Structure 1
Amino acid sequence: MRADVSALAADSSGLNVRVTDMGTIIDLAADALFDFDKSTLTAVAETELGKAAELIRKSPPGAIQVIGHTDSKGDDAYNQKLSEARAKTVADWFGRQVGVRQREFQVSGNGETAPIAPNEVTGGADNPAGRAKNRRVEVVLPTTVALPG
């Protein structure tokens, strides 16, 4: 089971890939895909998305989850809407790619509710590096299901 997933992670072409019990997660930095406060892809986004599409082509069968995330700037409702719009934009791009478009995509947004880094440092000061890590779109690839022995 882990051999297939590990092979995908090893062939990530410089993407930030982590293997969890949930599946193989590709973290796509929102700053590399979108302009500030936007959900329209930038000109350079296709390079990163193309690398992720290659991993999707090699991944086991099953639905692909596309989950948008934001940092904590702005209000909760706005961040939720932006995270959903960004995830939909990424899933729509994948949906136009040969060898990827036939996959099922489950699209959702988590807004600012699932940070992977602190948005603030101790004492409440802003943490720009942490906020940048939190602005992301996660693409979750299925893992190979082990058959009962």
Structure 2
Amino acid sequence: MSEYAFAWAFLVDTDGKAWVGNFERELCAYCTGLVGGCEKGEEEAYLFQSDFGLESDEESPFFEKVNCYVMDDVGCGRPAAIWISPGDKRYAAVAIFFYEKPTDELISIIKERAYKFAEERPDREKYEEKIEKINITGFRLIEQTVTEKESAV
């Protein structure tokens, strides 16, 4: 079971050669136009807004769909996190959290923009270091269900 509380998560799987902890929030912002409490990915969110001709994040088709308040280990609300890859237990995936199952249209937008992000790496323009290529290997959807058991004490 996950340490995060969410209803649905859309996962972008990578081959793990580029450490996803270096870009998970920027990828989410680029794909949805939304950022969490730490505001990491703000520049990429502006690119989303510009590409879609939006004035603010509230006009994003993901607004009120993506859960930007899933708490991390230090209490900062985030819409994305690194995630374990299937079969090998490496953290090579990016999870984007949703309140409800994302529509096919929203999934299509994320897929298209994730590939574009991986190719263009807009998050690395401000760095002079070598840009790591991101190789997307697939996409997954997770529904989290929680079971409670009460006992008299």
Could you tell me the TM-score, scaled by structure 1's length?
0.30
1 or 2, which has the higher helix percentage?
1
Normalised by the length of structure 2, the TM-score is: 0.30
